[in-house]
Amino acid sequence: MNLLLFFPGLLIMLLTIFDLIYTIFAPRGSGFISGQITSLVSFFFRVLYRIRKSKNVYNSQGVVIVVSIVLVWVMLLWLSNMMVVMSDPEAVINSSSYLPATPLERFYYTGYLLTTLGVGDFIGGTDLWKIYAAFVSFTGLLVITLSITYMVPVLSAVTERRSLSIRIAAIGHSPQAMLVNNWNGQDFSMLNAQLQELAQSIAKQGQLHFSYPVLHFFHQSRKETALLPNLVAFDEALSLLLLYVPKELRPGEQYIFPVRCAISSFLETLTATFIKPAETEPPAFRLDSIRKLHFTLHMPSQDRIGELALRRRILKSMMENGGWHWEDLDGPVFNTKLDLSPTD
C-alpha cells in the first residue's frame, strides 16, 4: 500500500466532510473551504465590476458561489477517494476478469460510488475494500442530501430578502419620501404598523445572514428588489425622525426602537464578516422635502449628528459593496411606466 496516497487522501476526505457539515450547521455557516471559495469568487466579481462599471455583474454572484461550493465539495471527495483507492493495487478489480483496475477505471469507480449509481462492473478487491466502497456510497449520499439541505434554505432566504425589499420600497423611494408619504397632517403615526411589521422581518434577515453568509453575495440590479439601497433609505428615514422630528410627532418609541435595533444587528452581522466602514461619510441629510410639511423641524447639534457617523459610513460601504451609490437612494424604485404619474 502506498501510504503517501492513502493518508493525504483520507485527510482531504475528512476535511471536506467537516467543512460541509460545519458550513451547513454551524452558527456562522462558513467553513474554511467554503469561505475560501466565497472569497475567490467574490474577488473575481469585484474585478469584473471594476472593468464593466455595472452592478448587473453582481446579479449572478450568489448563484455562482453556491454552485462553486457544492462542486468543490464533490470534486474534493472524488479526488480524495481516488487517492485512497490508488494506494492499493487490490483496492479495485474488474468484476469479470478480477484484474486490477487502471487509474482511469478507478476514477470512474469512485465516481459512481459517490453518486450511488452502483453499476457493479468494478468491485473492491478484498472484504475491507468492499466495506470501504459502502462507506464511500454513504458519503456520496450524505453530500447530495446535505447539499440540497444547504441550497434550499439559502434560496428561500433570497426570496424573503426580495420580498422584504419590495415591502420597504413601497413605503417610499427615498428617506424623505418615506416620511412625506406617511405624514397625516398632524404626525407620523401612520408609520406605526409598518415599523412593527418590518422589525421582525429585518431581524430575521440579519440572523439568516449570520447563518448563511453567502446571502450577502446575492445582489439585485433592480432597486425594488435590492435590499441594500432600500434598507439604507429606511434607516436614513429613521435617522431623520430621531434627529429632526419633534418627539411628540414621531411614531411611539415602542415602534421605532425595535426596528432600529434590528437594523443595527443586521449591520453588526455584515461588519463582523464582510464589510468595513467607508473611509468618508456620506453627504449630509437632505431636508428639503420634509421642510415643506407643516411642522417646525428640531435642529440637533453637530455632536448629536456626529454620533451617527460610524453608522452612516457602514451604510455607505454596504451600498458600495453591492455596486450602488449614495445618490441612488433618491432614485425611482418602481417602473413609472406601469402606474399613474404622481399628482399633488
**95-138 pLDDT tens trace:** 888 888 899 989 988 988 888 766 668 888 888 988 988 888 88
- Please tell me the predicted confidence (pLDDT) of residue 164: 94
pLDDT band at 336 (very low <50, low <70, confident <90, very high): low
Evaluate whether 120 touches 39 at the Cβ level (below 8 Å): no
What does the pLDDT average to over 85-95? 88
Q: Cell 461550493 sits at which residue?
A: 69
Q: Which residues pair with 123 in a beta bridge?
A: 93
Q: What is the pLDDT of residue 53?
A: 81
Q: What residues pair up with 122 in beta bridges, in sequence order?
A: 94
- pLDDT at residue 56 is higher than 80: yes
CA distances from 80 to 6, 17, 230, 306, 321 (A): 9, 11, 45, 55, 36
Instruction: Give the pLDDT confidence score for residue 248 in this predicted structure.
Output: 93
Range with the lowest mean pLDDT among 16-30, 51-65, 96-110, 276-290?
Answer: 16-30
Q: Over 60: is that where the pLDDT of 343 sits?
A: no
Q: Is the predicted pLDDT of residue 79 greater than 60, yes or no? A: yes
At 75, the amino acid letter reads M
Instruction: Please give the residue that has the higher pLDDT: either 202 or 275.
Output: 202
Q: Which three cell numbers stand for residue 274?
A: 464582510
d(CA 244, CA 183) in angstroms, rounded, equals: 14
Q: Is the model's pLDDT at 341 over the cut of 80?
A: no
Least confident of 16-20, 105-109, 116-120, 232-236: 116-120
Confidence of residue 241 (pLDDT cuts 50, 70, 90): very high
> Which amino acid, one-letter code, is at 170?
A
3-class SS at 315? helix
| 163: confidence class by pLDDT, cuts 50, 70, 90 | very high
- Three-state SS at 123: strand
pLDDT of residue 307: 95
pLDDT score recorded for residue 210: 82
| pLDDT score at 92 | 87
Higher per-residue pLDDT: 284 or 98:
284
Of all residues in the chain, what percent carry a pLDDT higher than 90? 49
d(CA 121, CA 62): 39
**One-letter-per-residue 3-state SS of 213-225:** HHHHHCCCCCHHH
Residue 2 has pLDDT above 90, yes or no: no
Contact 147, 73 (CB under 8 A): yes
Please identify which residue in the block is written with the cell numbers 425594488: 224
Nearest-angstrom CA–CA distance, 133 and 129 = 6
Interatomic CA distance for residues 20 and 67, integer angstroms: 13
Pick from 207, 185, 225, 329: nearest CA to 265: 207
SS3 293: coil
- What pLDDT, on the 0 to 100 scale, is given for residue 112? 85
DSSP 131: H
Q: Is residue 230 predicted with pLDDT exceeding 60?
A: yes
- H or E stretch covering 309: helix 309-321
For residue 309, give the C-alpha cell: 457617523
pLDDT of residue 332: 75
